[in-house]
Amino acid sequence: MSHSLPLLLLLLSVVSTASATTIGVTYVPAPSQPPPEEVASTLRSLKITAVRLPVAEPSVIRAFFYTNISLFLSIPNSLIHSISTNRSIASLWLYNHVVPFYPRALITAISVGTNVLADGNASSADVLLRAVRNVHQSLVDLGIRKITVSTTFSFVNIMMTSFPPSSAEFEEPTNNVILKPLLQFLSETNSSFFVNLYPYFVYKLRPEIPIGFALFQEETYNFRDDAITGVRYRNLFDLMVDAVIAALTISGHENIPVVVTETGWPSCDSANDVEARPIYAEMYLRGLVYHLQSGRGTPLRKEGVAEAYIYEVFDTNTTFTNLPAMRVGTGQNWGFLHPNMSMKFEIDFSGCFSTTIGALTEITVLGFLLLVSGLLLF
């Protein structure tokens, strides 16, 4: 068996390089909730390593000092126009939200606007890019080079086709007018593509999709085949991520990291949507976390998405504005913590359990391969 030991070591080193996605959460503070310091320490004890703050309040940023939790900040859409015309406005924002806190607060990303396309003002394309550039340049001027600057899109607003994923393309004219120049900028600055990606909304648009496929339920009948690549998808999340990756590739930017800035499932809905149920929210979040921790990536990108932020920590009776025609996404609860900070349902963010199981599974498979190769050698 002298041939096998080096082979085993080689194979084990392959296993250990599989890197899991960073799993973060979106946190929107409200007066009805515990103070941000308590929330920060609870998130830390849950082993959550990244937090997205759609509303970047200085007092909330300060609550994350020395927690080693990375922060994703957003600049409100209402500032985009002035930031695009005057770089001093960008600097001013950074002086209020970044300079006093960084790096004690581990700010790693800034989104200049969120779902800017949803207001239907595509004429603001050059405005958006100029604003992103101004924020980036202001950071460079401040000597801060480790913060990624981009803008956040919503999957349903940018994808023209998404099935089969390998033929997915971005919507025109958004693609030519907004995305292409932005992607060029992201490549040049080593930044990431930010996208809100909700299997829930795609499921609501396409009711023929089996609910289990949207909820990470691995059943034999829950799959979709991509006839072009011959790849079998076991969940809608991977299919949507690969649609984004295929569209990036067609645009000539296949290596830009993808950050899923929001994803989740509602547990209740003011209009009584029957799919907005606690049991489904639990299935989705547990399935998502387990899947991302496994480090298996997606069929088109073996490292998968770089980061994924669960929407959201506490219920905020959210109304989404990106799908006005759908009559879903109104007055919904998406949180996974009660206001007393106990979990609505158990989600293991620590990754201990699934990493062990994942590794064991792979070692079993590798052991089998080793056995086969051993048989071939002798």
Ligand X SMILES: *[C@@H]1O[C@H](CO)[C@@H](O)[C@H](O)[C@H]1NC(C)=O
Asked if residue 255 binds ligand X (CB under 6 A), the reply is no
Residue 122 Cβ, how far from ligand X at the closest point, in Å? 9
Q: Based on CB atoms, which residue is closest to ligand X, 163 or 185?
A: 185
CB of 315 to ligand X, least distance (A): 9
Rg of the chain's alpha carbons, rounded to an integer? 21
Q: Beta partners for 73?
A: 53, 110
Q: Nearest approach, Cβ of 172 to ligand X (angstroms)? A: 19
Least distance CB 360 / ligand X (angstroms): 23
89 lies in the binding site for ligand X (CB under 6 A): yes
- Nearest C-alpha neighbor of 147 from the set 76, 75, 78, 195: 75
- The residue among 88 and 361 lying less far from ligand X, judged by its C-beta, is 88
- In the region spanning residues 18 to 77, those forming contacts with ligand X, defined by CB under 6 A, are 49, 68
**Subset of 106-135 contacting ligand X (CB under 6 A):** 119, 121, 123-124, 127
Q: CA–CA distance from 261 to each of 150, 151, 152, 328, 370 (Å)? A: 11, 10, 7, 20, 40
Least Å distance, CB 317 to ligand X, is: 4
Provide, rounded to whole angstroms, the least separation between the CB of residue 196 and ligand X.
19
Q: CB-based burial of residue 137 (10 Å sphere; 0-12 exposed, 13-18 middle, 19+ buried)?
A: middle
AA letter at 132? V
Does 88 interact with ligand X (rule: CB under 6 A)? yes
Cα–Cα distance measured from residue 18 to residue 48, given in angstroms and rounded to the nearest whole number: 20
Q: Which of 217, 330, 355, 373 binds ligand X (CB under 6 A)?
A: 330
Please give the Cα distance from 337 to 45 (Å, whole number): 13
| Residue showing tokens 């079993």 | 364
> What is the Cα–Cα distance from 69 to 106, expressed in whole angstroms?
6
Neighbours of 252 (CB within 10 A): 10
Residue range at the interface with ligand X (CB under 6 A); choices 81-89, 161-169, 192-200, 255-263: 81-89
Residues 159-218 interacting with ligand X (rule: CB under 6 A): 189-190
* Min CB(126)–ligand X separation in Å: 8
The 3-state DSSP class for residue 199 equals helix
E strands, 274-366, in order:
307-311, 332-333
338, 345, 352, 353: which one contacts ligand X (CB under 6 A)? 338
Number of residues that bind ligand X (CB under 6 A): 22
The contact set with ligand X (CB under 6 A) reads 49, 68, 81, 86, 88-89, 92, 119, 121, 123-124, 127, 189-190, 270, 317, 319, 330-331, 338, 340, 342
